[in-house]
Chain A
Amino acid sequence: MKRNKLFALLVSAAPLFAAELEEVPSTRAKLTGTTHVLVTSRVDANDPSVAPNQVLKHENSFRAEYGPYSASIGFSSFIPMAGPNPGTKSVTLEKKLVSAEWENWDVKLGDTYQELGRGIALSLYRDDVFGVDNTLEGGSLRFHPQGLTLGIFGGRVNAVRNPVAINPQENPLKDRTVWITGGAASVRVINDLKVGGHYFGTYNQPAGAPGFDKAWQTLGASITADNIFDAVDANLEANTFFGQFSVLGKAKDIPQGYGTYASLSYAPESWKFRLEAKHYQDYAFEFHRPPALEEDVVETTNNENVSGARLYGEKKLEGTRTTLFSSYYTGYDRPLGSTIHHGVAGSRFQFLANTDWELKAGYRWMPDHNNLVHFGLKSKIKTFKGQFLEIGARKQKANLKLNVIPYEEDRNFFDVGYNFNELLSAQLGYEFVPSNDPSVGQHFINIGGRMTWGIVTARAMVGSTSGGTQCSGGVCRVVPPFTGAMIDTIFTF
């Protein structure tokens, strides 16, 4: 009921803003949309003799716009096709949005992605690899004349119910509702100096409960300064996280949390240097995506109680197509009481004419806990006109428990792809995991291809993958092995 009133208020207010604003010249109506179909046939890893589960996951989204107004809707379906336990059929209205964008204002009602600063305080985002699609279902209003942005937002977190992904993350909102309301402001003080601040409250409501069992407040500020001495860019963001926790009248404080990130970059001529630092202390908030500062080979599970800094340097050699780069990360994991070190070095270069290479190697260690050696190679070899061969190899060898029972994990990835043209490519992958128990499998082979034809992009893969750490957009997770086949088709119109 309250939500309906908020919607009504924002809808009634929209024409008032429009009346006093410069109208965008009216354009023709536009209708666009996408249909995404993923068909998987997955063999049960625990019992390969059982018939595979076959499911079809599908999502449709349509968007219409006319002048400053637009509306979009997205729905999904999960259709079991065969197998002993493929799941239950369901069709879900996932996302809907009505919005108006003028020169200095925008009003949005429905599902919106929200991110504050570097995503430390709040990040509601979509990631197709992990089937994450979190939005704020409610309303947002922004006023953004030149140099100033003021915004308010409110609603509940809406996590996608039927993610179209091979290894989707479990819905985090199965048995509760999370409400978020707040605002943010930023002002460009002078051309290269911008300061901002944000505040929001988060309220957790268990399913069926009349009220909230947890409440938090987040307060943050940021400053961005560019072109200091004509070459240095700096950014600093600090957040504090505080609140109350109450159940049946008893209340106790949640420890106050801190989330701070800073970066300093300097790029003279062909060089590039970047120094980044983070300090996350008791920052236990699930709807965020803070910078991890770690290479994409590491599953970064601790973003709550960790501090660290990374220095990255890169040099392009004049007159060549060679780039050298290296980085060093050092930090401290508070729950484990261990320091972290991670050094990486590599190069991108042309070995022979029409052949581009990238080599990268690194070593990460947490004394008395674990270490990891990783090596990667990528090559792009131009063959005939418009065609090229891509070769990739990656090795990761980790000793996961240096101080208890040593356990080694050895993962080796090889892939060869051939691009016939921009519309058609084929790929062969081989993964060798000698550290796996033979019953799980040590050799994984898959073949696949990608084709673009008119409005269709289709990818297909058959075979098996070993799973393990998979990264996307700075977020890494461990995914299970996959054996079977999949067809992933996207229609864009």
Chain B
Amino acid sequence: MKKVISALTVCLMLSNIALARPAPSFRAELLNGDRVSLTQYLKPQRILFLSFWATWCVPCLEELRLVTDRLKQNPNLALDVLTVNVDSSETSSDIKPTLKQNNYRFPVIADPKHEIFSKYQQEKALPYSVLIDESGNILETFSGFHDEMFVKVEGALKKKGLSISGAISEKK
């Protein structure tokens, strides 16, 4: 038991070392049938907000609503949105009505087998979002929905010298 605790402690200490983690690549089909890849969404001078969500996850819908609102308020924000829905077959009939009811317009990849989700997060906790820069590096990860997420999004854009006019972290 002592060995295990020691090993875990060492791992925890090592974990604080910052590692430039690359975003795993994927190719998939959007709900409208278009085939897309991660690379397609990595654009110069822009950051990608990749969000994993499910219809039954209320905080996920809250997060997507706020991101949608922020982008509506500030269309010049250098932020693109791509979402990955992880509903299993039990609840996947709810994806399209949920998008329509909430008037969400962002692209959605259906990932019922969690092929993309498991490349990004093994814990499979929702909501889970990732900020990816144009080079395909993960800048930030967000597990759970917290208001500070927008401060970090803003920070990541600032750090890259990208457009944040409209101050994404502003409260409504």
Q: Could you list which residues of chain A lie within 8 angstroms of chain B, going by C-beta atoms?
A: 24-25, 27-28, 30-32, 34-37, 39, 54, 56, 61, 63, 65, 70, 81-82, 101, 103, 106, 113-115, 117-120, 123, 125-126, 128, 144, 146-147, 188, 191, 194, 226, 231, 233, 235, 263, 265-267, 269-274, 276, 289-292, 312, 314, 316, 348, 358, 385-386, 419, 421-422, 452-458, 473-475, 487, 489-493
Contact = CB atoms under 8 A, between A and B. Distances in A.
Contact of A421 (B35, B93, B146): B146
Contact of B88 (A70, A265, A473, A490): A473
The 5 closest A-B pairs by CB, nearest first: A474-B90, A119-B89, A267-B100, A263-B93, A456-B15
Contact of B93 (A63, A115, A265): A265
Given A233-B96, A291-B93, 13 more contacts: A32-B21, A113-B114, A128-B124, A144-B29, A191-B33, A274-B93, A274-B94, A291-B90, A316-B101, A419-B144, A453-B15, A453-B16, A487-B8
Contacts, number: 159
B148 interface: yes
Given A39-B4, A113-B113, A147-B33, A457 B123 contact: yes
Contacts of B32: 191
B112 interface: yes
The A interface, classified by DSSP as helix, strand, loop or mixed, is: strand
17 contacts: A24-B39, A28-B22, A30-B24, A70-B25, A103-B27, A125-B114, A126-B118, A144-B29, A191-B32, A265-B94, A267-B100, A272-B97, A274-B93, A291-B93, A457-B123, A474-B89, A491-B15
Interface in B120-138: 121-124, 136
A35 B8 CA distance: 11
B57 to A, nearest CB: 12
B101 A271 contact: yes
Contacts of B147: 385-386
Contact of B25 (A65, A273, A487, A492): A65
A451 B115 CA distance: 25
Contact of B1 (A54, A120, A312, A473): A54
Nearest to A458: B12
A422 B144 contact: yes
A37 B94 CA distance: 34
Contacts of A106: 27
Contacts of B22: 28, 30-32
Nearest to B86: A473
Contact of A291 (B21, B89, B113, B119): B89
A30 B132 CA distance: 14
Contact of B89 (A118, A128, A267, A493): A118
Interface residues of B, number: 53
Interface in B124-163: 124, 136, 142-144, 146-149
B91 interface: yes
Given A65-B25, A146-B35, A316-B101, A235 B93 contact: yes
B101 A267 contact: yes
Contacts of B27: 101, 103, 106
Nearest to B118: A126
Nearest to A276: B93
Contacts of B76: none
Interface in B11-43: 11-12, 15-19, 21-22, 24-25, 27, 29, 32-35, 37, 39
B65 to A, nearest CB: 10
B149 A314 contact: no
Nearest to B11: A491
A82 B3 CA distance: 13
B98 interface: yes
A271 B18 CA distance: 46
B66 interface: no
Nearest to B37: A24
Given A24-B37, A63-B119, A289 B88 contact: yes
Contacts of A61: 122
Given A63-B119, A119-B89, A291-B89, A27 B15 contact: no
Contacts of A34: 122
Interface string B29-62: 1001111010100000000000000000010000
